[in-house]
């Protein structure tokens, strides 16, 4: 307070508290509770730093409990801890501690009660937060003398439940939204529904590394949780870490070879995530953000230089603490500290990930690429069309390590983002007409470098590859960042054209050749039609808005042109007849 300013206050405190709690993403609950437990456990003596997640029975119903060693709280500290923006023995900082995470994230799913017990100096006190009559607060209960209290002493009850009083500790028990709710298996009362391994997955895809010698035990010491950083060095995983010079950013590349068994690695008694599926995530202060898993990672992986094998390849981008970024209010995302405070995303670093892939990983990716090749004349035709339309060479922009945290991410719909990527002009990633990576060139040295080369065309035939690219029911998907066009060889138009050709040439004696050539011509026709459509879309740069260009390059637009295969039949028939005539000539005796 100064003589030049009157401090702002809260006019409706109850509304503000309820608003903050109700707006918090409930899925952050376990992270916040475990983060608090880890911070407290770090104050325990070496060798005694533990966090335990287990179940306790409340009136016969399983409730999730998070227990930690480390400095406990007395009655006054436990009372003050319950208030919003209140922290005990922690400094409030916008980039670290807000003083409201665990309470705010947990109360929407625990209106029936969120019980804290803490042992300090041999005495255990208890306070329970909850929601009654539209208000969040401390639930009062009678003490031994019948007086209603916010905080009560429960040392005897704690001892009867097996808790020792000769060391400090704190325990949080989640009562859920009703007395009958099992918060171990159903923490959010079905909204959302969680899988049987949800605790391990929530921890594993949030805490990349656990420091200070702290152990997290699940189910009363039965299983030791291991974070990803501890599991990566296993012998059956190949990995490399690349530290960027002068930057401090570390790129972690991991290949987990597919296994015939789902048995977890790491030995008996250890709880690990099952063989790690492909994953990508940002690491900041040992925690993971913007985690891309399963289909989200498979769809995005080509931008990171992983067009194939992404289901077994993981990439983690570790950001140094000095970067000008902060977690958002609920720690769900990272945001730029300046500019428009846009979210920091894995995709911001795709270029640097692509450029620093280790050689062994590139070999694995190439070994898993499809064998289907596109005829060189398709590329030649597309190159001619690009020159005719005057499509200027673009440098695909994916922010470099130096720029990525200084430039806010675009906030637009996918079509706008694709159109913007098509129009951007800064990145040294270039390809030849046949898709091979090249080194940087001086455009002034050769006129051909003024024209955009044709995209690399990759034809997919196997269901897993097609699903990974999001091409079920779609003919193609274009990745502007890497200038790659993936085509679905099982798309109905390909099948229909192949069958028509086979029927028309059913009288030919060499039916094996007919089937082989029908498939080849149908796939070739698909590549030609979709490739030309894409070239015409790219030629609209500077003439159409980014959103419209993105729509023209979308899988839906590419699929529509793929459907119109009838006009291509004439050329296919000519090629088929020429091939069969040549075979007959070769087969005739001299």
Query: What is the per-residue pLDDT across 270-326, written as a single tens digit (0 to 9) for each?
Result: 445 454 668 999 999 999 999 999 899 999 999 999 999 999 999 999 999 989 899
Tell me: cis bond preceding 431? Omega within 30 of 0 counts: no
Spatial separation of the C-alpha atoms in residues 137 and 132, rounded to whole Å? 8
Say what the pLDDT of residue 425 is: 39
Say what the pLDDT of residue 423 is: 55
Hunting for tokens 């009157």 — which residue is that? 6
Binning the chain into helix, strand and coil, the percentages to the nearest 5 are 35, 20, 40
Residue 460 has pLDDT above 70, yes or no: yes
Q: Look at the chain and count its residues.
A: 590
Return phi, psi of residue 157, to 5°.
-65, -40
Concatenate the DSSP letters of all residues of 411-471 into one string.
---HHHHHHHHHH------EE-TTS-EE----GGG-GGGGBPPPPEEEEE-SHHHHHHTT-
Residue 404 has pLDDT above 60, yes or no: no
**What average pLDDT does range 519-544 have in this prediction?**
96
- The CA-CA-CA angle for residues 154, 156, 160, to 5°, reads 115
**The two three-digit tokens of residue 415, written as one number:** 């079509």
Say what the pLDDT of residue 92 is: 42
CB 149 within 8 A of CB 141: yes
Q: Residue 541's beta-bridge partner residues?
A: 544
Say what the pLDDT of residue 444 is: 38
**The two three-digit tokens of residue 93, written as one number:** 């900082």
**What average pLDDT does range 468-485 have in this prediction?**
95
Say what the pLDDT of residue 16 is: 86
Helix locations, 194-287, DSSP H: 198-204, 228-231
Concatenate the DSSP letters of all residues of 540-574 into one string.
TBTTB-HHHHHHHTSHHHHHHHHH--GGGHHHHHH
Spatial separation of the C-alpha atoms in residues 412 and 342, rounded to whole Å? 11
pLDDT, one tens digit per residue, over 207-221 is 999 999 999 999 855
Residue 581 has pLDDT above 50, yes or no: yes
Say what the pLDDT of residue 144 is: 80
Tell me: cis bond preceding 340? Omega within 30 of 0 counts: no
Query: Which residues make up the CATH 3.30.230 domain(s) of the chain?
Result: 227-258+273-368
Q: How many helices (H) and strands (E) does the chain have?
A: 19, 24
Residue 40 has pLDDT above 50, yes or no: yes
The hierarchical CATH code for the domain 13-223 is 3.30.565.10
**pLDDT tier, 346 (very low <50, low <70, confident <90, very high otherwise):** very high
Query: Which residues make up the CATH 3.30.565.10 domain(s) of the chain?
Result: 13-223
Residue 559 has pLDDT above 70, yes or no: yes
Q: Lay out the sheet containing 237-243: strands in order across.
A: 237-243, 250-256, 313-319, 279-284, 287-293
Say what the pLDDT of residue 538 is: 96
pLDDT, one tens digit per residue, over 490-521 is 999 999 999 999 999 999 998 999 999 999 99
Q: Residue 336's beta-bridge partner residues?
A: 325
Say what the pLDDT of residue 437 is: 36
**pLDDT tier, 438 (very low <50, low <70, confident <90, very high otherwise):** very low
**What average pLDDT does range 404-417 have in this prediction?**
41
Concatenate the DSSP letters of all residues of 308-372 into one string.
S-GGGEEEEEEEPTTSSEEE-TTSSSEEESSTT-PBP-GGGGHHHHHHT--HHHHHHHHHTS-S-
Q: At 102, which helix (H) or strand (E)?
A: helix 101-106
**pLDDT tier, 420 (very low <50, low <70, confident <90, very high otherwise):** low
**pLDDT tier, 445 (very low <50, low <70, confident <90, very high otherwise):** very low
Spatial separation of the C-alpha atoms in residues 468 and 300, rounded to whole Å? 9
Spatial separation of the C-alpha atoms in residues 119 and 96, rounded to whole Å? 26
Q: What is the CATH architecture of 227-258+273-368?
A: 2-Layer Sandwich (3.30)
Say what the pLDDT of residue 155 is: 97
Say what the pLDDT of residue 440 is: 38
Say what the pLDDT of residue 128 is: 98
Q: What is the mean pLDDT of the chain?
A: 86
**pLDDT tier, 145 (very low <50, low <70, confident <90, very high otherwise):** confident
Say what the pLDDT of residue 139 is: 97
Helix locations, 265-413, DSSP H: 294-300, 350-355, 359-367, 376-389, 401-404
CA 546 to chain centroid, in Å, comes to 25
**pLDDT tier, 99 (very low <50, low <70, confident <90, very high otherwise):** very low
**The two three-digit tokens of residue 397, written as one number:** 């922009």
pLDDT, one tens digit per residue, over 367-382 is 988 766 788 999 999 9
Q: Residue 392's beta-bridge partner residues?
A: 451
Percent of residues, the chain, with pLDDT higher than 70: 83
Spatial separation of the C-alpha atoms in residues 353 and 401, rounded to whole Å? 9
Residue 257 has pLDDT above 50, yes or no: yes
């Amino acid at each position: 307070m100064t003589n030049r300013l009157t401090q702002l206050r809260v006019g409706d405190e109850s509304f503000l508290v309820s608003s903050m709690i109700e707006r918090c993403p409930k899925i952050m609950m376990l992270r916040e509770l475990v983060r608090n437990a880890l911070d407290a456990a770090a104050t325990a003596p070496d060798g005694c730093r533990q966090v335990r997640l287990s179940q306790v029975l409340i009136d016969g119903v399983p409730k999730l409990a998070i227990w930690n060693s480390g400095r406990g709280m007395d009655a006054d500290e436990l009372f003050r801890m319950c208030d919003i923006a209140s922290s005990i023995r922690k400094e409030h900082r916008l980039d670290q501690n807000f003083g409201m995470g665990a309470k705010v994230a947990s109360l929407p799913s625990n209106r029936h009660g969120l019980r804290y017990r803490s042992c300090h100096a041999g005495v255990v006190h208890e306070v329970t937060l909850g929601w009654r009559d539209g208000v969040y607060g401390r639930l009062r209960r009678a003490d031994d003398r019948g007086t209603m209290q916010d905080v009560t002493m429960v040392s005897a009850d704690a001892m009867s439940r097996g808790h020792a009083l000769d060391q400090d500790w704190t325990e949080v028990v989640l009562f859920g939204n009703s007395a009958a709710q099992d918060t171990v298996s159903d923490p959010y009362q079905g909204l959302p529904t969680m899988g049987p391994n949800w605790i391990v997955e929530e921890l594993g895809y949030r805490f990349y590394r656990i420091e200070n010698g702290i152990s997290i035990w699940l189910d009363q010491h039965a299983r030791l949780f291991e974070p990803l950083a501890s599991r990566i060095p296993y012998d059956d995983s190949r990995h490399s870490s690349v530290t960027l010079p002068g930057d401090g950013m570390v790129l972690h590349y991991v290949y987990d070879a597919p296994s015939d068994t789902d048995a977890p690695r790491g030995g008996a008694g250890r709880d690990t995530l099952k063989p790690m599926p492909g994953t990508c995530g940002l690491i900041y202060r040992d925690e993971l953000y913007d985690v891309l898993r399963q289909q989200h990672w498979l769809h995005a992986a080509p931008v990171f230089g992983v067009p194939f094998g992404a289901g077994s390849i993981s990439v983690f981008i570790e950001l140094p603490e000095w970067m000008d970024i902060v977690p958002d209010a609920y720690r769900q995302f990272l945001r730029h500290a300046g500019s428009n405070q846009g979210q920091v995303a894995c995709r911001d670093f795709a270029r640097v990930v692509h450029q620093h892939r280790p050689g062994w990983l590139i070999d694995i990716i190439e070994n898993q690429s499809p064998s289907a090749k596109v005829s060189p004349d398709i590329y030649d035709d597309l190159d001619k069309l690009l020159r005719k339309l005057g499509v200027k060479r673009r440098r695909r922009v994916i922010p470099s390590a130096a720029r990525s945290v200084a430039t806010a991410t675009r906030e637009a719909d996918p079509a706008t983002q694709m159109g913007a990527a098509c129009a951007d002009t800064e990145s040294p990633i270039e390809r030849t007409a046949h898709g091979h990576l090249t080194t940087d060139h001086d455009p002034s040295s050769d006129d051909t470098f003024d024209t955009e080369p044709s995209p690399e065309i990759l034809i997919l035939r196997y269901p897993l590859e097609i699903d990974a690219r999001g091409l079920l029911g779609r003919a193609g998907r274009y990745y502007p960042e890497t200038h790659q066009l993936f085509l679905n060889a099982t798309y109905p138009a390909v099948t229909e054209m192949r069958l028509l050709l086979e029927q028309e040439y059913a009288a030919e004696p060499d039916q094996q050749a007919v089937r082989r050539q029908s498939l080849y011509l149908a796939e070739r026709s698909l590549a030609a039609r979709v490739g030309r459509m894409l070239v015409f879309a790219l030629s609209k740069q500077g003439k159409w808005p980014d959103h419209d260009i993105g729509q023209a390059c979308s899988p839906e637009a590419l699929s529509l042109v793929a459907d119109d295969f009838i006009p291509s039949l004439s050329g296919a028939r000519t090629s088929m007849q020429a091939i069969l005539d040549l075979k007959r000539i070769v087969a005739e005796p001299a």
